[in-house]
Chain A
């Protein structure tokens, strides 16, 4: 094993896959420099023909990636901020998501749509979103939301090799997170949740930065409550079984998500637990998510985004 950080893990995955398969290329605004460091330096090794700086045109970035994927390449489109994906709403949610289905399964779209997501940096309503629900809601898109360097690398390699469109969200607040990864090549299959912490009193389901927040809260209250933390790692495909197994043991569930609460993933996961594990529940499921507001800028953002105290409060409530 070796020590790395989240953003280096992403860069390594890109590097290895660019090396392995010459059909892989990266396109996006300023990917040669790498706005968040995830693609930085790759141009030195692979050249501007494969690390392609585009004009400021998100619609063309996504659309061109999808078109190239339909025609046999395996592009990774970097949208910079997840918020900007709305600009390519038609291309991502209609074209990438539906193309194979509409064409009778005859055309594959092996594209990765990658973007930095999440708040905590006081960047306001249009540079802080983590639009997980929109992607999870759209049939045809897979969605990976890594919470550790290990997961980030393994999931991105799988994403690039997948023959379907995959949205890969890396969290801005996790870029410097340290962690261990194997020296040797490895992949993480989609649809396999990971128990990030074992416990027996309450199951906390969380993704991305909320996994790290939940781990911190679990550690703080470990003398009072034994918290199990399950990280689905991919929201589509979704590993409900691991969650149900945990609920059978604990009987209590808190779901934590950084995206907007209404019609969000906490409602969806909550309902799937209810549909498949109602008899194991000792208390109503608690959900913690962003308030039904745009993400406020500056110091106001903490009044909209979920905070550790909200997670602690929900654990307390479900244990009561």
Chain B
């Protein structure tokens, strides 16, 4: 008999919990939602640890699981909201040079006002610092589609940040 690899998660729980929760809270800025996603993360980790080959259990790995849960959350939210509005079909996909200094505090607030798919793309790309291919992988899109999404997300972000008309 071999010990269940998921037992290690119980031992790591106290140390890992503030990291996972802190990661999620900083990105969703909503306590009940951060708690839900934290719970999803740890429970998903149990089954992931039992797969072969078993991943190496660490706080960093748990943050990765949390990132997937976060992307899932935005995908769900996007599906729910899709029927309520036209998805930025009228907006251009062109890169608009933008070279000003961003106030980080304001930027985080602006981010929370964007649509779920824009939040997802910008959070993974900029807060987490992932490369475009990894963002694409988390969002379940092609790299090309992700690049286009990032352009639209940046445009939406900038309009809201500058308080321009048409902003959500």
Q: Is chain B a partner of chain A in the same complex?
A: no
* Chain A residues engaging chain B, CB cutoff 8 angstroms: none
* Chain B residues engaging chain A, CB cutoff 8 angstroms: none
